[in-house]
Amino acid sequence: MKAAKGAMSLPHLFQSAKDTAVDLKELSRDEAERIAYYLRRDVEDAASHARQTRKEFREWLRFDVALIEDRLLGFLEPLVDHCRVELDRLAMEAEVAGWHTGEIVSPGTLFCDACGQEIHLHRISHIPPCPKCKATVFHRKRD
C-alpha cells in the first residue's frame, strides 16, 4: 500500500518520534529505540492480524481501546471523587454562610432567615433586602 502524497512512511514517523523524544530529553537514545521497537512490533502484529483475518485494523484495536478506556477511567475516578467531595464541601459552606443582600446570585428561590419570605430570582441578579422585613440574610429554597 502506497502512502498518500505528502504523508510520511511509518519508519520515518518512528525515526522522527525517536529523535524528538531524545532532543527534548524525554527519553535516552536507548529508551527511544526500545519504545520504537515495541511500537513497530505492535503495528506489524496489527497488519498481520488484518491480513490473516481479513478484518479491519479497528477490530484489532478494539481490545486495546477497551484497555485504554479502563485505565483512563481508573485514573479519572479519584479525580471525580475528589471533585464531588470538594463540591459538597463548598455547598455546605454556602449553606452555613447564607446569601446576603448586595451579593450576586444565580436564578432560583431564596428565603429570608428572619421571616421566611420567599424571593424568586429569574435571572442572575443582586440580592435585594427582604421585601417583607428588610432583613439581609437568606438561604436557598430547596424542594
Cross-strand bridge partners of residue 109: 120
Dihedrals phi, psi of 14, to nearest 5 degrees = -60, -45
C-alpha cell at 72: 483512563
Indicate the pairing of strand 137-140 with strand 104-105: unpaired
Per-residue pLDDT reduced to its tens digit, 51-91: 777 666 555 555 555 666 666 666 666 666 666 667 677 76
Instruction: Express as a percent the part of the chain with pLDDT over 70.
Output: 58
50 torsion bin: left (phi>0), alpha (psi -120 to 50), beta (else): alpha
Dihedrals phi, psi of 105, to nearest 5 degrees = -135, 150
**Angle 10-23/29-53 helices, nearest 10 degrees?**
150
Structural domain spans, the chain: 8-55, 64-97, 98-143
The answer on pLDDT for 94 being more than 70 is no
The answer on pLDDT for 1 being more than 50 is no
Residue 106, pLDDT score: 85
Residue 132, pLDDT score: 97
For the segment 34-40, the average pLDDT, to the nearest whole number, is 78
pTM for the model stands at: 0.38
The answer on pLDDT for 107 being more than 90 is no
At residue 37, what is the residue type?
Answer: Y
Per-residue pLDDT reduced to its tens digit, 108-123: 889 999 999 999 988 8
Band of pLDDT at residue 133, cut at 50, 70 and 90: very high
Indicate the pairing of strand 125-126 with strand 104-105: antiparallel
Q: Tell me whether residue 107 is exposed, middle or buried, using C-beta atoms within 10 angstroms of its C-beta: 0 to 12, 13 to 18, 19 or more.
A: exposed
